[in-house]
Structure 1
């Protein structure tokens, strides 16, 4: 095959999910000494017109209003009652030694966990508004990325600094093409790259933190993206949409698998530790579903052996979480006050898996006062065994939950309660 035709074919395959704009971008980069330079020159002209119109629109059209931002984050944030919650989001480092907590005034407190605790650092920046997500750099406990509106702030903290309120000069600011960012995470397959998504866009934004450049990738159908869930090694991404679709991408070549016809949008998902099962819940179903994957070694176009994962054609229901009533008065506890009947189960708000993949915590949208706990077996099939539940305190219900990484005593679940006060 002719070299130029092969080049074009590879570029089209790599960018087919970007549609016509992605194709034009790649054609415009063809050098003028090739046989395709007339098409490249035309594509550059199209890009100049497009960029000009974009600049004019950005100056004329108003940005998204605060009410719309609140509406999107209230609906799609992993934090329950994001708008009125006393905490916006929480991020714990993979090593389990640093915890970042964002308050509803967008101030971020950074705590050291364990020995050597110090006064927490306070991070505040004039552009740090509408904080929706935070992520620690996996291999550096001094770097914290913060999603704030249409920007990512990357705080680089000094270990030896004595100032408990670092200067704004410690924060790198990267502006993204979408107004409200719903989630950010660091790409584990490379360095200095953050993946960001927005419920107002159908693209995954790939942010190079070393240059500040932003590339976009995504499909035209399925709706906007609410969440991305990576496998433990980061090589595959499960993408959840506002529509009833789940896609799984191979991070190396963006090869796609798609599952549609869900019972409403996928609310949340977790991967098994080996990446061979994806467990998820959908908006209008009382079932938890699982998709199983098989790995197979294949030769790619360059003759190199690579591992390719292929999922089952259909998602399989694995557990019924329909609401059930529990009468605490049936437990004869001496001195206990009479209590009302507790309802457990219903439509899911979030799934949280322990780092070892053996414990699952489920919070519910309809009955948020109780978190259900399960023991998980992934092989030979996905099996959930109820192991108990956590009832919310009288002053609120769980709004944020996470497992502490590398906890020596087993699986430690942390819950943050929402008081319900605005």
Structure 2
């Protein structure tokens, strides 16, 4: 079993990781990153590094304070109650009616007061079982968002397009920017309901459709790639809402692009949307207290759904039945699928291991979920280790915040949660080599490091990179960097003649080292 103690030392202070070449991670002195990356990898980088200083991007004003400043205070109680229903549900409506008792009939004020007492009692009972329900919307987003520091991060969400060379980023001011390799125009997306953005997801089979997980809705942008406008009109947007289904912290498109799944930690139902018809079907099961994480398998046959409690489910998407895995040590923190959809990796909050669940590759759609492993197996130990780098000692490992698997199934990047009490750092990303056949193998590759004192907050692999894998890293100082990992896929290695390449170049084997 792999562990962090088997890793080579990370780059020293003042050096940053720029690429992987010849089976090893390459670091460069600060200021020389571009030159060293070009030396080892040529012009493979699809995008230049970007920088959004956190101090230059102001967080948007909270909704309540904005309303108090700009909305007139002579609204009728019925209009205020309607707004409360759409934004916060039944409890907010009853609270508004009780507060405005002088404006409503006496019987309605009395019944609203009694109803509010019942709602609060049920809420406290439910909250004792699921403490996250007592959090405010913003606190809940910060707790369950993929971003490691959603509150303070300049870049709050990131998404590659699966088939086109472009990506979208959501900034702290609730604006979204779209970058493309083929266009110098950078569309800026803003909408009045685009608040508390925690998730972005491109529709796989369309170049222009971007789903945005917001505080109170799912927003669907149609960004025409041929348009010369840098401010797309909001008239092209679709707004998908359902009472009680907020805040939205996770989105997942089906690989064929016909269905969009959305999740909220405060709603026990996950929504399956048909975006073209703007209709949604709730999938609800008892237990869990909400849905905090979604991952659609690349083959489209399975949908992973984690809850804020020690329960996770895997749905099969033909009959929409599911299998449950319970009795985890805590809530599922992160997960990712293998490219063939046969292996699911996941981590549990505050537990320093990576688990795997395997599913048969040759089973039909309906039986594939039920035939999966009945128990999760520990496949990687990421317990804390002390790493010496010159005179510096770093405590690395522990609880995993997020992990991503490249589309070829060759590299696994793992990002950790800092723990001041234990002295662990979150400044390093652990990179593993992986192999799926004949059995799952996960082996050490090296540590990825950024600038001094800077930690990664989001990581994501480009899905259509041709020369290995391309890892995007959003750092705590507002920088977005791209790290090319140059390797030959394992399947291609088996087809290489043992006496060298066909063109006569000597093959040393170093690039395929599995140390």
TM class by shorter chain equals 0.7 to 0.9
Which residue matches 1:326?
Answer: 387
CA contact (8 A) 1:188 1:235 kept: no
Q: List runs of 5+ in structure 2 lacking aligned partners.
A: 1-84, 97-132, 419-424, 479-515
RMSD between aligned alpha carbons? 2.5
Change (3 A) 1:55 1:164: closer
d(CA) in 2 for partners of 1:226, 1:55: 20
Which residue matches 1:250?
Answer: 316
In the alignment, structure 1 residue 391 sits paired with structure 2 residue 449: yes
Deviation at 1:112, TM superposition (A): 0.7
Which residue matches 1:73?
Answer: 141
Deviation at 1:359, TM superposition (A): 0.2
**TM-score, structure 2 length as denominator?**
0.64
Which residue matches 1:293?
Answer: 359
d(CA) in 2 for partners of 1:383, 1:345: 20
d(CA) in 2 for partners of 1:382, 1:163: 47
Aligned with 2:347 (options 281, 286, 291) = 281
In the alignment, structure 1 residue 315 sits paired with structure 2 residue 376: yes
In the alignment, structure 1 residue 169 sits paired with structure 2 residue 231: no
Deviation at 1:86, TM superposition (A): 0.4
d(CA) in 2 for partners of 1:190, 1:411: 23
Deviation at 1:357, TM superposition (A): 1.0
Deviation at 1:269, TM superposition (A): 1.1
Deviation at 1:306, TM superposition (A): 5.9
Change (3 A) 1:376 1:61: farther
The answer to which of 395-404 and 345-354 deviates more is 395-404
d(CA) in 2 for partners of 1:190, 1:358: 25
**TM-score, structure 1 length as denominator?**
0.77
In the alignment, structure 1 residue 98 sits paired with structure 2 residue 166: yes
Q: Deviations over 1:41-62 (max 9, x none)?
A: xxxxxxxxxx9xx997664456
Q: List runs of 5+ in structure 1 lacking aligned partners.
A: 1-50, 299-304, 330-338
Q: Deviations over 1:210-246 (max 9, x none)?
A: 2322220121112321101111022101111111112
Which residue matches 1:350?
Answer: 402
Q: What count of residue pairs does the alignment treat as equivalent? A: 349
Q: Deviations over 1:378-412 (max 9, x none)?
A: 23433211100112312420001111222122111
Higher RCO (C-alpha under 8 Å, 6+ residues apart)? 2
d(CA) in 2 for partners of 1:199, 1:226: 5
Q: Please state whether the residue corresponding to 1:327 is helix, strand or coil.
A: strand
CA contact (8 A) 2:294 2:305 kept: yes
CA contact (8 A) 2:432 2:445 kept: yes
The answer to which of 349-358 and 279-288 deviates more is 279-288
CA contact (8 A) 1:122 1:164 kept: yes
In the alignment, structure 1 residue 184 sits paired with structure 2 residue 251: yes
Change (3 A) 1:397 1:349: same
> Is the strand fraction higher in 1 or 2?
1
Q: Please state whether the residue corresponding to 2:140 is helix, strand or coil.
A: helix
Change (3 A) 1:222 1:55: closer
Change (3 A) 1:55 1:127: closer
Q: Please state whether the residue corresponding to 2:351 is helix, strand or coil.
A: coil
